[in-house]
């Protein structure tokens, strides 16, 4: 019996719909191979690291790291390897390596990582990198990019210390300049620590400088995800600023003193500052301290002082030479021409003239000491040369 055209079309449409439903229906989900989803149970969850964080004082002996296999399947076991590295380079040899096995009856395992108490004072926080690897075929990690990594911060347990950097005990500061100091809290971070800053004017006036702040304190607790903020907050800064003035002054000094009632100081507890004047514009003035000197022939050495005033912030220099008079170089006196350099802040320099005692009567003799060719932004002052008189100490022969 043949079908009518209408019935043929209806049957064809039904077959097409059935084929479309078969093709578009979802496939049956494949059975998961993960019997265990393994992850750390962190001390601190993360915001700035893919994994989490653990904290331990170095005198704890061992740090217990807890691993949990979530949704374990009955009657199965699985394993992972926990490696501990000295830094975040997992290509290095691990410091410690542990194989951890899970079952449905023991889904939580504890790994004890040895912590060395090194008794080293004033050390920074140590950081260990922990990584899970080599999972057995039926073990998966939650969030592959994070749940198998962690950082372990080892906190010092030595007495609290404030480390001062830079560590020099004296500095030169030009008027209008400033210097920053870092105060870092080390040692036992669980102990409250405070500090105080005082100043001691020596030749400077309190109005010549500003020290800020004059006190500070360090936190003893961290909150949730902000462990790195807490660790980084163990550093504070102190600024020393030298103020400008228009007075023509010599070098002035003052001191900054750092004390703490509950921490030792690592570095200088008293720091001296020299204020280098910049008055007188950009130039320094170099001249001899006196315009004339006299010395007995037997004295052998005559010291002569050269002074620098005005702007003390730069290195400057001057050329020093002699000119013969009745006294002759290498016969009555000795001196090799030389360039004398003044370091920043240096206000005077001394040169030595060597007087030759020749043992014969010549009477008093003279020669000239000269300054010339000032460099480094310096100019010569009014006393650019001096007359040196050698007084004869021999008896006059008839």
**Residue linked to tokens 């010599």:** 250
Q: How far is CA 385 from the centre of its chain?
A: 48
Q: Would you say 122 and 266 are in contact if contact means Cβ atoms under 8 Å apart?
A: yes
Q: How far is CA 20 from CA 8, 11, 23, 24, in A?
A: 19, 14, 5, 6
CA–CA gap between residue 350 and residue 355 (Å, rounded):
16
Q: Which residues of the chain have pLDDT under 50?
A: 1-31, 144-145
CA–CA gap between residue 369 and residue 388 (Å, rounded):
7
pLDDT at position 296 is 92
CA–CA gap between residue 47 and residue 230 (Å, rounded):
13
Which residues on neighbouring strands pair with residue 114, listed in sequence order? 62
CA–CA gap between residue 35 and residue 135 (Å, rounded):
11
Q: Would you say 158 and 122 are in contact if contact means Cβ atoms under 8 Å apart?
A: yes
* Cis-peptide, bond into residue 289, ω within 30° of zero: no
Q: Is the dihedral of CA 86, 88, 89, 94 positive or negative?
A: positive
Nearest partner of 207 among 242, 237, 173, 183, judged by Cα: 242
pLDDT at position 233 is 77
* Cis-peptide, bond into residue 166, ω within 30° of zero: yes
pLDDT at position 226 is 60
Q: Would you say 384 and 291 are in contact if contact means Cβ atoms under 8 Å apart?
A: no
Structure tokens at 338: 């030389």
Q: Would you say 82 and 97 are in contact if contact means Cβ atoms under 8 Å apart?
A: yes
pLDDT at position 344 is 84
Q: What is the pTM of this model?
A: 0.57
Q: What SS3 state is found at 354?
A: strand
Q: How far is CA 173 from CA 80, 208, 341, in A?
A: 60, 11, 19
Residue 114 neighbours by CB distance under 10 Å? 11
Nearest partner of 103 among 125, 79, 132, 80, judged by Cα: 79
CA–CA gap between residue 249 and residue 309 (Å, rounded):
9
pLDDT tens profile 27-74: 333 345 788 888 887 777 665 566 678 888 888 899 999 988 887 888
pLDDT tens profile 128-177: 999 999 999 999 886 644 568 888 888 888 889 999 999 999 998 888 88
Q: Would you say 331 and 307 are in contact if contact means Cβ atoms under 8 Å apart?
A: no
pLDDT at position 261 is 95
């Amino acid at each position: 019996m043949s079908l009518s055209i209408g019935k043929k079309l209806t049957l064809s449409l039904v077959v097409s719909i059935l084929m479309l439903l078969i093709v578009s229906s979802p496939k049956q989900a494949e059975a998961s191979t993960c019997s265990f989803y393994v992850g750390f149970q962190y001390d601190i969850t993360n915001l700035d690291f893919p994994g989490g964080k653990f904290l331990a004082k170095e005198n704890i002996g061992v740090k217990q790291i807890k691993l949990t296999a979530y949704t374990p399947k009955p009657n199965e076991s699985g394993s992972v390897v926990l490696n501990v590295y000295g830094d975040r380079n997992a290509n290095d040899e691990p410091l410690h390596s542990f194989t951890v096995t899970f079952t449905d009856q023991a889904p939580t395992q504890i790994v004890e990582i040895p912590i060395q108490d090194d008794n080293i004072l004033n050390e920074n926080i140590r950081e260990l990198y922990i990584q899970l690897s080599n999972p057995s075929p039926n073990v998966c990690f939650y969030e592959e990019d994070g749940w198998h990594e962690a950082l372990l911060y080892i906190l010092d347990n030595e007495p609290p210390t404030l480390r001062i950097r830079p560590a020099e005990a004296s500095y030169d500061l030009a008027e209008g300049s400033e210097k920053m100091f870092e105060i870092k809290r080390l040692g036992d971070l669980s102990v409250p620590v405070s500090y105080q800053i005082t100043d001691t004017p020596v030749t400077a006036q309190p109005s010549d400088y500003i020290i800020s702040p004059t006190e500070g304190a360090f936190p003893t607790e961290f909150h949730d995800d902000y462990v790195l903020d807490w660790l980084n907050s163990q550093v504070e800064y102190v600024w020393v600023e030298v103020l400008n003035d228009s007075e023509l002054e010599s070098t002035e000094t003052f001191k900054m003193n750092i004390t703490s009632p509950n921490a030792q100081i690592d570095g200088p507890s008293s720091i001296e500052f020299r204020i280098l004047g910049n008055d007188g514009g950009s130039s320094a003035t170099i001249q001899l301290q006196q315009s004339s000197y006299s010395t007995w022939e037997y004295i052998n050495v005559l010291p002569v002082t050269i002074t620098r005033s005005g702007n003390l912030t730069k290195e400057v220099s001057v050329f020093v030479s002699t000119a013969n008079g009745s006294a002759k170089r290498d016969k009555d006196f000795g001196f090799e021409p030389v360039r004398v350099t003044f370091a920043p802040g240096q206000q005077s320099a001394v040169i030595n003239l060597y007087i030759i005692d020749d043992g014969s009567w010549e009477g008093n003799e003279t020669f000239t000491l000269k300054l010339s060719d000032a460099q480094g932004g310096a100019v010569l002052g009014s006393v650019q040369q001096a007359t040196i008189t050698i007084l004869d100490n021999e008896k006059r022969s008839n």
